[in-house]
Amino acid sequence: MIEAEISPIEDIIREAVEGRPFILVDADDRENEGDIIIPAQFATPAQISFMACHARGLICLAITQERSAELKLRPMAPRNQSGYGTAFTVSIEAKEGVTTGISAHDRARTIAVAVDPTKGSDDLVTPGHVFPLTARDGGVLVRAGHTEAAVDISRLAGLTPAGVICEIMNDDGTMSRLPDLRVFAARHGLKIGTIADLIAYRRSSEQLVEKMASAPFQSHFCPSPMTVHVYRNKIDGGEHVALVKGEIRPDEDTLVRVHQVDLTTDVLGWNTAAPDYLRRALRFISDHSGPGALVLVRDPDPESISRRVAGGRREYHEKNANRDYGIGAQILIDLGVQQMTLLTSSKAKLAALQGFGLTINGRTELRENRPDSPLRILPDF
């Protein structure tokens, strides 16, 4: 059986420039799926029909936050409970030039209207048969998803930053994994690439964080002297903190914990988690014979506190764990980390970290110390 080889991102971008569809695969610890993607401006009825007949998944339109705001698209749900934070908006339809809206022609027409800069919210109606997805600003360097990848590829190709995406399914209705996707790509003459390679491609010339300040730091919870570094996210202006013990060398293993700050637990001590796990993380790093780094990443969700309170801390974390690790990865790279052991209880493989040039050599478990608590996955990598 013929299988397609993984193509470099440069080849994928050329396919986009020429208006040809391609496949992008995400990490095997994330959705572990492949989507067929085409720049939105090239989404003809024939391309939509191909996706519907051969890929079989949900046909969606990935757009930027700016375009979503221009079209006045509100979220599909007021509280996003999607396991991967997929930012669905209300479904749409072109106001004119369509019939029932479901045909390949009608969906192509709706997509064309949605990405036409001369069109606005008055040219669309809701609900409809096209499902917009809003990409995170910063693309795959912030969130390693197909939504962001589709927008990134179109932008890198010099096209309108929008893409039509559709998950690929097998004949029996199961999701196609990499071996299936390589056969599918060869059968239909499509190139196949990976989101990890797209991350690496963008990271070679782009940096979304910048160091704002550094100073010696001594913590009450850690006897070892440390250095505190403050980083700024260039996308939203948010600041993140890294505490470093010792001298980090690229060829030497570093003990690392990347932690998404949770006010309800870290400050208020919500009893669904051990109240001292940050202290224990610092003690782990302090007792470690080699270098260590604790990266505290601000939650990008402006409503994270209310969502945690309304839905419960554990529910919120279980639905958002590892959703966005690009910022933490870029901070580690700036600190000089390449080889690392993760201080974590998470079992996720985080294969997309390879795109950032990071290698996970091992894991050291950080457990909650309450006897009545099972092993919990704490909010980190």
DSSP states along 34-87: EEEEEEGGG--HHHHHHIIIIIEEEEEEEE-HHHHHHTTPPBSSSS---TT---
CA distances, 288 to each of 244, 328, 362 (Å):
12, 21, 14
Residue 265 lies in a domain: yes
Q: Is the pLDDT assigned to residue 348 strictly greater than 80?
A: no
Q: Which of 203, 231, 250 is the last residue of a domain?
A: 203
Q: What is the mean pLDDT of residues 125-148?
A: 94
Tell me the C-alpha distance between 12 and 21, whole Å: 9
Same domain, 186 and 90: yes
Same domain, 26 and 106: yes
Q: What is the mean pLDDT of residues 14-22?
A: 98
Backbone angles phi and psi of 137, in degrees to 5 = -60, 135
Residue 18 lies in a domain: yes
Q: What CATH number does residue 328 fall under?
A: 3.40.50.10990
**Is 148 assigned a ligand-binding role in the annotation?**
no
More confident position, 318 or 162: 162
Same domain, 28 and 127: yes
Same domain, 286 and 198: no
Enclosing domain of residue 197: 9-203
Q: Is the pLDDT assigned to residue 319 strictly greater than 50?
A: no
Q: Is the pLDDT assigned to residue 373 strictly greater than 90?
A: no
**Is 144 assigned a ligand-binding role in the annotation?**
yes
More confident position, 9 or 144: 9
Residue 352 lies in a domain: yes
Same domain, 198 and 213: no
Predicted pLDDT of residue 264? 72
Residue 128 lies in a domain: yes
pLDDT band at 8 (very low <50, low <70, confident <90, very high): very high
Q: What is the mean pLDDT of residues 215-231?
A: 92
Residue 371 lies in a domain: no
Same domain, 129 and 217: no
Same domain, 181 and 217: no
Predicted pLDDT of residue 318? 45
Predicted pLDDT of residue 261? 83
Residue 19 lies in a domain: yes
- Nearest CA among 169, 55, 38 for reference residue 111: 38
HSE on the CB side for 248, CA within 13 Å? 25
Same domain, 129 and 271: no
Backbone angles phi and psi of 111, in degrees to 5 = -60, -45
Least confident segment among 96-100, 228-232, 259-263: 259-263
Residue 102 lies in a domain: yes
| β-pair type (163-168, 34-39) | antiparallel
More confident position, 29 or 255: 255
Tell me the C-alpha distance between 123 and 175, whole Å: 35
**Is 30 assigned a ligand-binding role in the annotation?**
yes
Same domain, 226 and 162: no
Q: What is the mean pLDDT of residues 351-378?
A: 65
Same domain, 57 and 168: yes
Query: Which of 148-157, 291-300, 310-319 is most confident?
Result: 148-157
Least confident segment among 84-93, 181-190, 354-363: 354-363
**Is 19 assigned a ligand-binding role in the annotation?**
no
Please report, in angstroms and rounded to a whole number, the separation of the first and last CA atoms in the chain.
37
Q: Is the pLDDT assigned to residue 312 strictly greater than 60?
A: no
Global pTM exceeds 0.85: no
Least confident segment among 161-175, 244-258, 307-321: 307-321
Predicted pLDDT of residue 278? 80
In single-letter form, the type of residue at position 285 comes to I
**pLDDT tens track for 87-134:** 999 999 999 999 999 999 999 999 999 999 999 999 999 999 999 999
**Is 143 assigned a ligand-binding role in the annotation?**
yes
**Is 308 assigned a ligand-binding role in the annotation?**
no
**Is 31 assigned a ligand-binding role in the annotation?**
yes
More confident position, 80 or 145: 145
Tell me the C-alpha distance between 331 and 353, whole Å: 12
Predicted pLDDT of residue 305? 66
Q: How many domains does the chain have?
A: 2
Q: Is the pLDDT assigned to residue 86 strictly greater than 90?
A: no
Note whether 13 and 153 are within 8 A (CB). yes
Predicted pLDDT of residue 378? 44
Q: Is the pLDDT assigned to residue 232 strictly greater than 90?
A: yes
Predicted pLDDT of residue 139? 94
Q: What is the mean pLDDT of residues 184-199?
A: 95
Residue 369 lies in a domain: no
**Is 262 assigned a ligand-binding role in the annotation?**
no
Note whether 187 and 4 are within 8 A (CB). no
Q: What CATH number does residue 161 fall under?
A: 3.90.870.10
Predicted pLDDT of residue 265? 72
Q: Give the three-state DSSP class for 239.
A: strand
Same domain, 178 and 251: no
Q: Which of 150, 172, 203 is the last residue of a domain?
A: 203
Q: Which of 180, 203, 226 is the last residue of a domain?
A: 203
Least confident segment among 46-55, 201-210, 328-337: 201-210
Same domain, 154 and 295: no
Q: What is the mean pLDDT of residues 48-74?
A: 97
